[in-house]
Chains A and B, each alone.
Chain A
Amino acid sequence: MQHAPTIDPGHETSTGIDNRKLLMWLFLASEVLFFGGLIGTYLLYRNSSVAPPCPTDCVFDGVTYQGLFDIPFTSISAFVLLMSSVTMVLALAAIQRNNKRGLGIWLLATALLGMTFLAGQAFEFTEFYHEGLTLNTNLFGTTFFVLTGFHGAHVSVGVLLLVSMFIVSQRNDWTKEHSLNVELLGLYWHFVDIVWIVIFTLVYLIQT
C-alpha cells in the first residue's frame, strides 16, 4: 500500500512555516511553563523538610542522616539521555538523505537509550523508597517525585512514539519527504533532554 507524502510542497501558510512545526513549538512553550512550575516548586521547598530523609547529609534531633543522592549514578543517567539526543538527530540526518535503514537503526538506538534512562530512574526511585522516602514523607519527597516522575512520564511517552515511528517507517516507504515527522518527534525528544539538563544541575549538583 503506497502512502502519499505527508508534506505538500505546494501548501502555503500565512507564516511561511509548516503549521505542524509551529504547533509543536507552541506545545513546547507550554511545557516550559509546566516544568518551570515544578522546578520552581522544588527549589522553593528544597530546604524546608522537617523530617528525614534528605537529598544530602542532614541532622534532625541531633541524629545525622546520610544524603540520598548518588551523583555518579545520576551523572551516568544524564550522560545516557544526552547521548540519546545525538542518536535522535542522527535519525533525522539519515531520513533527510533517504536512508531508511539508518533512520531505523538510530530510532531504535534512541529508544534503547531512553529505556536505559527510565530503568535508572526506576532503580533510583526504588532505592529512595527503601530508604524511607515516599510521596508523603516530607516536602523533599513530594516535590522530588512529582518533578522527576513527570519527566520520566514524558520520556516514557517519547519511547512509545519512537518505537511506533520505527515500526511505521520500516513498514512503509519513508523517504526524505517524511523527514518533518522525524523532526517533530526530535523536537519533543530534545526538549525532554534539555529539561533533564536543567534538573540535573539545579536539583542534583547545586546543593545550596
Chain B
Amino acid sequence: MELAALVLATGVKAFFQSPAYVIGVPLVAVGGLALMLALTPFELRWPAPIRESDLPVLDDPPEGHPDASEYVKVGVFLAVVTAVEVALYYLDLAEGALLGLLLALSALKFILVVMWFMHLKFDNRLFSTMFTGGMILVLALFTIVLATLGSSLV
C-alpha cells in the first residue's frame, strides 16, 4: 500500500530514481514467486515430487577433496581475518601501513577462498595456470591504467 501511495503521490519517475525500490521490488517479487513454487502443495509435472534417496551416505569425501571439517576451519580463519581487518580500520595507523596491511589481508582471504573453496589447490593444474596467468595480466593492466589516469590509490 505504501508503495502504491508513493507511486501515486510522486509519479513513476520518482519511483525509478530510488535505487532501493528499483532493486528491492523486483527482488521481493521474484523471491515470493520462488517461495510459492517451493511450497506449492500441488504436484507439478515438473519438478517431480520430493523423493528420498535410497543410496547410503558415504563416510569419506572423494579422493583429493578435503573433509567438511577442513572447510569449517578455513571459514573460521576467514572470519577472524575479517575481524582483524575491521579492527585495523579503527586503529590509528600510518596511512601507508594501513593500506599495506588491508591489501595483504584482503589478498590472503581472496587466495584462501580460491584455493580451498574453489578447489584450485586440489584441481587440475590447467585451472591454476589459467587463473594465475589471468590474475597477473589483470593486475598489471589495472595498475598501468590507474597509474596513468591518476588514481589516488596507485
Contact = CB atoms under 8 A, between A and B. Distances in A.
Interface of A: 1, 15-17, 21, 25, 29, 32-33, 36, 40, 43-44, 46-47, 71-72, 75, 78-79, 82-83, 85-86, 88-90, 93-94, 96-102, 115, 118, 121-122, 125-126, 128-129, 134-135, 145, 149, 152-153, 156, 159-160, 163-164, 166-168, 170-176, 179, 183, 186-187, 190-191, 193-194, 197-198, 200-202, 205-206, 208
Contacts of B47: 167-168, 171-172
A205 B110 contact: no
A71 B89 contact: yes
Given A17-B124, A89-B71, A167-B47, A98 B38 contact: no
Nearest to B118: A190
B99 A44 contact: no
Interface in B58-77: 58-62, 65, 67-68, 71-72, 74-75
B18 A171 contact: no
A96 B55 CA distance: 12
A29 B117 CA distance: 17
Contact of B48 (A82, A172, A179): A172
Contacts of B34: 160, 163-164
B151 interface: yes
A167 B38 CA distance: 6
A208 B106 contact: no
Contact of A16 (B71, B110, B124, B153): B124
| Nearest 9 CB-CB pairings of A with B | A86-B75, A201-B106, A126-B20, A171-B47, A97-B58, A93-B68, A100-B53, A122-B24, A125-B20
A128 to B, nearest CB: 8
Interface of B: 17-20, 23-24, 27, 30-31, 34, 37-38, 47-53, 55-62, 65, 67-68, 71-72, 74-75, 78-79, 82, 85-86, 88-89, 95, 98-99, 102-103, 105-106, 109-110, 113-114, 116-119, 124, 126-127, 130-131, 134-135, 138, 141-142, 145-146, 149-153
Contact of A160 (B30, B85, B86, B119): B30
Given A29-B134, A82-B79, A156-B27, A171 B49 contact: yes
Given A83-B79, A167-B38, A194 B51 contact: no
Residue with the greatest number of chain A CB neighbours at <10 A, chosen from B57, B85, B113, B118: B118
A171 B50 CA distance: 4
B55 A98 contact: yes
A146 to B, nearest CB: 10
Contact of A149 (B19, B57, B95, B151): B19
B27 A122 contact: yes
A36 B138 contact: yes
Contact of A152 (B23, B78, B149): B23
7 contacts: A32-B138, A40-B145, A71-B89, A172-B51, A201-B105, A205-B89, A205-B102
